[in-house]
Amino acid sequence: MASASCSTSIPPQQPRSSYTYHVFLSFRGEDTRNGFTSHLYAALNRKGITTYKDDRNLRKGDVISDVLVKAIEESMFAVIVFSPDYASSSWCLDELCKIIECNNKLGLQMVVVFYGVEPCDVRHQIGTFREAFQKHERRHESEKVKRWRDALKQVAEYSGWSSKNHPVEQVIIKIGLGFNDVRYIAIWGLGGIGKTTIARAVFETIRSRFEVFCFVADVREHFEKQGISGVQKQLLKQMKIISSDADYIDKYDGSKKIQTSFHGKKVLIVLDDVSHEDQLENLAEKDWFGPGSRIIITTRNKEVLKQQGRHETYNVTGLVESEAFNLFCSKAFKQPEPLEGFWGLSKEVVDYCSGLPLALKVLGSYLKGRPIAVWHSAVEKIKKSSHSEIIEVLKISYYGLDSMEKNIFLDIACFFKGWEKDEVTKILKECGHEAEICIDILINRSLLVTLENWGGRDILGMHDLLEDMGKQIVI
């Protein structure tokens, strides 16, 4: 079976009526046997799902065993766990080819999990997958290696589950799908940190659980241009409750239409980029909706929910170093690692961005395709002045402050970043500022953070890009 074809030209047959196993698990033992795969196997069995997992050391010799072939053929689903070392195993690759063959001929369904790798790693055989295939090309016939490559490319096109979707999982936990209360969930964080991306992923994952669902984008922008009635129109048009702007006159009529249309129904509404409490009051009051309804908002200002009853907040933080590096390289090089000679420069840019996805994407795109001499110049320029597109996005949060809050933000950006909070508060109060409340507002709007120093006292911190923005505004 090592030479089984991975062609997709054979049309799938109708699924069989009976199976020996519900699920066949394909995985690299050294990577996941005692961790993720064992937990997945146990969870499936707890649910009464009959699962085949190779625990009998059947992988001997160069050819996939008849026992494994039979198990694949007699399974309803195949769950393929792609991990960093998956492609180093010729057994795993032969299994994959057999799974694709059964998908084509027998209607076997495939579910893909990306554990510690990105789909592009598998699709294009880069990173650890490239290293594995460099060895395979020295040991195996070119035709067999090509079949393995084609199999990986084909399966990687499937929509899969990623172990890096942790923020989405955490938001879904806070949503509490099993409860019948009506709940608000705020996805809160700095501009450009990825709030909307998370909200969309959550929306697509859970919307089938609701009678009515709607994603209203750019609430703040529509509110500033058209008032609250403009945002209400956007929501009602999406739900096909109205067909034109002339269908109602003012915000009171709009609120009534939303309330009467959704009353008693289990509703999922996402309001993206909410900036004021009155937006919620006119778009999604809790008592307008039926049991189990969920209202998800993304916001830079945590205070928009302070008057609401039951709510949960998920704070979106920056990417960890490995994820930030991968994101930057995907934009700058169209692969998860830099080209030869660009490692050090890439590290400088990633460090500068401090985990901010927007900055990583914009700067990666800006540097893509440029020669190394230009990179050296660009990196020095980036250090001296932030890329204008990033700054313009970040300025949205600044422009939403009142005059005293703006002054305090600029003072901290220029002079007091890293100082103890109590000391800064005292200085600002002596200058006539209402320091306590203004600093609290800046923290709630993700423009400041508090960090604990060695003495256990709070110090004021600020993202480097926000510090740069503040200094540019002063200049």
Nearest of 340, 337, 334 to residue 325 by alpha carbon: 337
Cβ atoms of residues 394 and 466 within 8 Å: yes
Of the candidates 95, 101, 118, 405, the residue annotated as catalytic is 95
Q: Which residue has the tokens 């806070």?
A: 174
Other Cβ atoms closer than 10 A to 324: 21
Q: Helix or strand or coil: residue 285?
A: coil
Clarify whether 95 is annotated catalytic.
yes
* 78: enclosing H helix or E strand: strand 75-82
Which residues lie below 8 Å from residue 99, measured CB to CB, with a gap of 6+?
Answer: 24, 26, 72, 78, 80, 108, 110, 155
d(CA 397, CA 445) in angstroms, rounded, equals 7
Structure tokens at 67: 């026992």
In single-letter form, the type of residue at position 183 comes to R
Phi, psi of 57 (to 5 degrees): 55, 50
Rg (CA), the chain: 27
Cβ atoms of residues 362 and 386 within 8 Å: no
- Burial (Cβ within 10 Å: 0-12, 13-18, ≥19) of residue 36: middle
* 452: enclosing H helix or E strand: strand 449-452
Structure tokens at 170: 């955490």
Q: What is the DSSP-derived secondary structure letter of residue 319?
A: P
In single-letter form, the type of residue at position 407 comes to N
Structure tokens at 19: 């199976």
Cβ atoms of residues 149 and 157 within 8 Å: no
d(CA 86, CA 27) in angstroms, rounded, equals 7
d(CA 84, CA 151) in angstroms, rounded, equals 16
In single-letter form, the type of residue at position 269 comes to I
Q: Cite the active site residues.
A: 95
